[in-house]
């Protein structure tokens, strides 16, 4: 059967996407021209903050005192998991070399970016985990300088737990500045910071647009839209657990899509019955976000079988993908488009978001069709090199000269000709493009 929508969304994640490009471009232009003073102007306007922009050791220590030992232990646990997973990822990137032809060796080398700028959201929610995810991976990658940037709250500054986590995970500087002005400060190297080679981390639509505009002059992890999550569940799934997981992700924001894909109608109907009550039981801000997300963006899709379920999931290419179904190995092998995969009821998106070790900065808005999430690899450049003996360069020079002439690139051809004449003056070579 064709997919049947038991609940169809009225909107998509991009429906309410504001046209913020002109606003963001104007701010970036102003800050690039005006430097520190212009950035501070926007910090006072948008953050209502007039404290130190670069936190000193005393401020970091004072913030750390405000963090309970229980939370410090949890942050340390999460940091250790993320660090060890990132180290394992890094171990898969090795320097290699190959003797392409006798006497000519080509190689690959992995080099970390020098300076990383890590944006840590701090508006609606204090994203402690984002500090852990972004700073830790940059540190493991070997970045020489890491800035953690987070928006301060009026009269308070950055949340103490974010400061503590960023410092623990290895940030060299902590920048108390949010939004476009924070992104600009890291990109342009304001307040004595080195210019960032790469910007990473989630943020609102203004942060995302700033990264989009700046991409090219600085690297970015990805262009992210609202977070999204999909659950694949069969008749053996627990409807209460499925509903709880959907609501847990819908609280992110009013435009955060959540989707249930199943081949069991009774399960789908039970989940739809349970969800509203779970939403109403949330605190006010979370409730308002989840209620709007469920009403306007959520979908419940009934499929004929697990193959159609998997195909549907690949079409949606969710940021987070949960499987609560039999034969988890089949799903692991079959599924192709997702940011991060959570197999079985015993794991959940929140584990990955906070503490299990995989990174929570992931591709949204179907970009999982072509990219993965933030990892230690994002901070690394794979570069190539080569060296050759004169004898080893000989066949390559001959082929290069002929291919270049066929392309019409005579200057290229002559760089090969010159070497052949110098290294092998007694030999004659046919370097013409045609027979």
360 labelled as ligand-binding?
Answer: no
Q: How far apart, in Å, are the Cα atoms of 84 and each of 71, 80, 350, 405? A: 20, 6, 19, 52
379 labelled as ligand-binding?
Answer: no
* Residue environment code for 282-292, b if the CB has 16+ CB neighbours within 10 A, otherwise e: beeebbebbbb
Give yes or no for a contact between 213 and 180, defined as CB atoms under 8 angstroms apart: no
**Spatial CA neighbour of 164 closest among 180, 178, 148:** 148
Catalytic-residue membership of 319:
yes
Q: Which of 319, 333, 345, 427 is flagged as catalytic?
A: 319
377 labelled as ligand-binding?
Answer: no
The first and second tokens of residue 67, run together, are: 């963090």
* Residue environment code for 3-38, b if the CB has 16+ CB neighbours within 10 A, otherwise e: eeeebebeebbeeeeeebeeebeebbebbeeeeeeb
Alpha-carbon gap, residue 404 to 433, rounded angstroms: 8
74 labelled as ligand-binding?
Answer: no
336 labelled as ligand-binding?
Answer: no
CA angle 56/58/59 to nearest 5° reads: 70
Alpha helices in 225-327 (DSSP H): 239-250, 265-280, 284-297, 306-316
Beta-carbon contacts of 181 under 8 Å, excluding residues fewer than 6 positions away, are 27, 31, 39, 42, 43, 46, 47
- What values do phi and psi take at 301, rounded to 5? -120, 125
Give yes or no for a contact between 132 and 82, defined as CB atoms under 8 angstroms apart: yes
Catalytic-residue membership of 127:
no
Q: Which of 307, 320, 410, 427 is flagged as catalytic?
A: 320
Alpha-carbon gap, residue 115 to 144, rounded angstroms: 6
How many of the other CB atoms lie within 10 Å of CB of 388? 19
Query: Which run of H or E residues covers position 333?
Result: helix 328-334
252 labelled as ligand-binding?
Answer: yes
**Spatial CA neighbour of 242 closest among 284, 272, 203, 209:** 272
Beta-carbon contacts of 300 under 8 Å, excluding residues fewer than 6 positions away, are 5, 6, 7, 259, 260, 262, 268, 271, 272
Alpha-carbon gap, residue 420 to 400, rounded angstroms: 11
Give yes or no for a contact between 106 and 396, defined as CB atoms under 8 angstroms apart: no
228 labelled as ligand-binding?
Answer: no
Catalogue the active-site residues: 319-320
Binding-site members for Zn(2+) are 249, 252, 353, 412
Binding-site members for NAD(+) are 119, 181, 204
Binding-site members are 119, 181, 204, 249, 252, 353, 412
């Amino acid at each position: 059967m064709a997919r049947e929508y038991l609940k169809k969304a009225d909107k998509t994640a991009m429906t309410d996407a504001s046209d913020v490009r002109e606003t963001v471009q104007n701010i970036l232009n102003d800050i690039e021209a005006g430097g520190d003073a212009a950035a501070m102007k926007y910090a006072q306007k948008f953050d209502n903050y007039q404290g130190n922009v670069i936190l000193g050791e005393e401020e970091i220590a004072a913030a750390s005192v405000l963090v309970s030992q229980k939370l410090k232990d949890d942050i340390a646990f999460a940091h250790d998991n993320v660090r060890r997973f990132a180290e394992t990822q890094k171990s898969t990137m090795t320097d290699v070399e190959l003797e392409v032809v006798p006497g000519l060796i080509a190689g690959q080398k992995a080099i970390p970016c020098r300076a990383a700028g890590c944006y840590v959201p701090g508006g609606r929610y204090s994203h402690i985990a984002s500090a852990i995810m972004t700073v830790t991976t940059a540190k493991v990658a070997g970045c020489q300088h890491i800035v953690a940037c987070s928006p301060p709250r009026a009269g308070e500054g950055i949340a103490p737990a974010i400061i503590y986590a960023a410092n623990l995970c290895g940030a060299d500087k902590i920048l108390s500045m949010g939004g476009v002005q924070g992104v600009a400060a890291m990109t342009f190297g304001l307040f004595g910071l080195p210019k960032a080679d790469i910007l990473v981390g989630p943020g609102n639509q203004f942060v995302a647009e700033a990264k989009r505009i700046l991409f090219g002059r600085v690297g970015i992890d990805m262009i992210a839209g609202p977070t999204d999550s999909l659950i694949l569940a069969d008749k053996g799934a627990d409807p209460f657990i499925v509903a709880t997981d959907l609501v847990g992700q819908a609280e992110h924001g009013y435009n955060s899509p959540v989707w249930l894909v199943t081949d069991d109608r009774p399960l789908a109907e039970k989940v739809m019955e349970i969800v509203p009550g779970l939403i109403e039981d949330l605190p006010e801000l979370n409730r308002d976000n989840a209620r709007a997300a469920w009403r306007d963006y959520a979908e419940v899709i009934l499929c004929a079988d697990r193959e159609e379920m998997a195909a549907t999931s690949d079409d949606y290419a969710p940021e987070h993908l949960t499987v609560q179904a039999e034969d988890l190995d089949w799903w692991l092998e079959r599924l192709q488009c997702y940011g991060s995969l959570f197999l079985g009821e015993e794991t959940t998106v929140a584990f990955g978001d906070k503490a299990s070790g995989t990174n929570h900065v992931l591709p949204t808005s179907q970009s999982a069709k072509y990219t993965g999430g933030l990892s230690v690899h994002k901070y690394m450049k794979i570069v190539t090199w080569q060296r050759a003996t004169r004898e080893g360069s000989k066949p390559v020079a001959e082929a290069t000269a002929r291919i270049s002439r066929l392309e019409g690139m005579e200057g290229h051809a002559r760089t090969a000709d010159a070497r052949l004449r110098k290294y092998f003056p007694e030999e004659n070579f046919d370097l013409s493009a045609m027979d």
